[in-house]
Amino acid sequence: MPGAILLLAALTAFAAQPSPDRVVAERVLRLGGAVVLEGQHVPIHDLDDLPDADFQIHTLDLVGVSMGAWGLKDELSRLPPLPHLKELYLNGRLWYNQPMSLVADTIGLFSASTELEKLVLSKPVQTYIPFEDPCSSGSRPSHR
């Protein structure tokens, strides 16, 4: 009987684990970003607006995240992958005058997002940021 109780406790704990989408959404919202859920068009900016039921993220909007590029890379590296992510918006200020390897590594964190259709860098204070193709090679969407 103690084994059955332990198994029940393990199953309950496993069932209580938040989905990868919820983990990512909550962290992005806490950082100042926004998410758009699959089937919706209105961005969510507040944790209280996330549904209680499971959901999938369609769009991650990190334009409002105001942290340095190294900090963003660190935060994103802790998040689970979202293979079904369709759109990703990044703050251009995070990439301006940053080492190419940092930009490539950070964008490469989305390489598991194999359904990515749109990658957008916002404009920083400067009006032109060179965006070299090697930075995006790890996150190119596959054409079907």
- Please give the Cα distance from 100 to 112 (Å, whole number): 20
Q: Which of 5-14, 47-56, 98-107, 115-124 has the highest mean pLDDT?
A: 47-56
- Position 40 pLDDT exceeds 80: yes
Tell me the percentage of the chain whose pLDDT exceeds 70.
Answer: 74
pTM of the complete model: 0.75
Backbone phi, then psi, for 88, in 5-degree steps? -135, 125
State the Cα angle at 29 between 80 and 50, rounded to 5°.
Answer: 90
Q: What is the CA radius of gyration of the chain?
A: 17
Who's near 91: CB < 8 A, 6+ residues apart?
Answer: 62, 63, 64, 65, 66, 121, 122, 124
Average pLDDT over residues 34-60: 97
Distance of CA 44 to the CA centre of its chain: 14
- Position 12 pLDDT exceeds 90: no
pLDDT at residue 69, rounded to an integer:
85
pLDDT at residue 73, rounded to an integer:
93
Distance of CA 132 to the CA centre of its chain: 21
- 97-144 pLDDT, tens per residue? 888 899 889 999 999 999 999 999 887 665 555 666 565 565 555 555
- Please give the Cα distance from 102 to 41 (Å, whole number): 31
pLDDT at residue 62, rounded to an integer:
95
